[in-house]
Amino acid sequence: MKIGNFDLSTDGTYIIAELSANHGGKIEIAKETIKAAKEIGANAIKLQTYTADTITLDSDNDDFIIKGGTLWDSKKLYDLYQEAFLPWEWHKELFEYAREIGIDIFSSPFDKTAVDFLEQLEPSAYKIASFEITDYELIRYTASQGRPIIISTGIATIEEIQDAVDICRAEGNHGIILLKCTSAYPASLEDANLLTIPNLAETFGVISGFSDHTLGITAPVVATTLGAKVIEKHFILDKSIGGADADFSLDKEEFSEMIEAVRDTEKLLGKIDYSMNEKKKKSRQFSRSLYVAEDIKAGEVITEKNIRSVRPGYGLHPKYLKDIIGKKITQATSMGTALDWKHIN
């Protein structure tokens, strides 16, 4: 499966830098963030496409006041999204800029109008945010566009995840990626439950990955060891920009360290390999093998005293020791000689 030109089966882990609200209300900051993501080696930059009016209601009712121990408690939902949203008129310029410098770009739509708008920009994929996984009509409409669809599972029941997958497949869309996500900002390590990543792939027959809201870079590295093919994390050019997501975003230096750690992890994981390559063959000189441990006369009986398993590895394999005990040496052989079948009668 590919996202843009990136093949998830052969090209490693697809790393997404989430711009989200980290633009400070300035398109220049958004473009600099895209440039920085490219420079540090991210595979994609991801936007969010909504307005306050497409995602919530401008209501002062208590239901619309944020509470529950979040970073945004006591703020009205409408006001939060009005502050955080990325203007739609920026999208075309940002898409063109990302493609010009060679980094993939796509977005999370939050209603059908956003999907229609983004289709004009031909994104390489779509992302369904955790809190939208219960919006089945949004998933259906997004999946019907035929592009790879990445779905965060942060607040979903297992039945809702199955529903989302079934909806995509019913639309003929089998390019499904499910991301393990903890929808807390920031998320605690104890709530990460990264063992869910391989289980998502096994249970639903899809590619799985990780949308990370923990602090630091440990979680994405562990996720990579567990088979995550996609890593998504919030990226900010500089935390001094501030904004709704700044506290749980990685800055350029931190994100760069994360990417390097993930790439090193990929190298460490490598592949299942029992082959005897040249490095292994060379190292076998330091393995044990059978050597003459003291001078032996022709016709003398081989014992565990005069033949021993020692380093280096140029003699017979130690597995033959029991087979040759009691046999006779064919010729006078000095101590330190690598034992060979020609020495044995």
- The pLDDT of residue 309 is above 90: yes
Of 304, 335, 300, residue with least CA distance to 320: 304
Sign of CA dihedral 233, 238, 239, 241: negative
List all residues 6 or more positions away from 261 whose beta carbon is below 8 Å from its beta carbon.
Answer: 217, 220, 221
Q: Residue 122 region, left (φ>0) first, then alpha (ψ -120 to 50), else beta?
A: left
Report the SS3 class of residue 167.
Answer: helix
pTM above 0.85, yes or no: yes
What mean pLDDT, rounded, does the chain reach? Answer: 96
Domain 2-50+85-269 has CATH 3.20.20.70: yes
pLDDT at residue 191 is higher than 90: yes
The pLDDT confidence band at residue 328, using thresholds 50, 70 and 90, is very high
Per residue in 52-79, pLDDT tens? 999 999 999 999 999 977 778 889 999 9
> Over the stretch 211-235, which tens digit does the pLDDT of each residue have?
999 999 999 999 999 999 999 999 9
- Between CA 138 and CA 155 the distance in angstroms is 16
| CA nearest to 182, candidates 171, 174, 190 | 190
pLDDT score of 247: 87
pLDDT tens digits, one per residue of 114-166: 999 999 999 999 999 999 999 999 999 999 999 999 999 999 999 999 999 99
Tell me what pLDDT residue 72 has: 84
pLDDT of residue 109: 98
DSSP tally for the chain: helices H, then strands E: 12, 12
Q: What is the pLDDT of residues 249-283, one digit of tens each?
A: 999 999 999 999 999 999 999 999 999 889 998 99
The domains of the chain are located at 2-50+85-269, 278-343
The CATH number for 278-343, chosen from 3.90.1210.10, 3.30.470.20, 3.40.50.850, 3.40.50.2300, is: 3.90.1210.10
Which pLDDT belongs to residue 184? 85
For 86, what's the count of Cα atoms within 13 Å in the CB-facing half-sphere? 27
> What's the maximum distance between 2 C-alpha atoms anywhere in the chain?
103
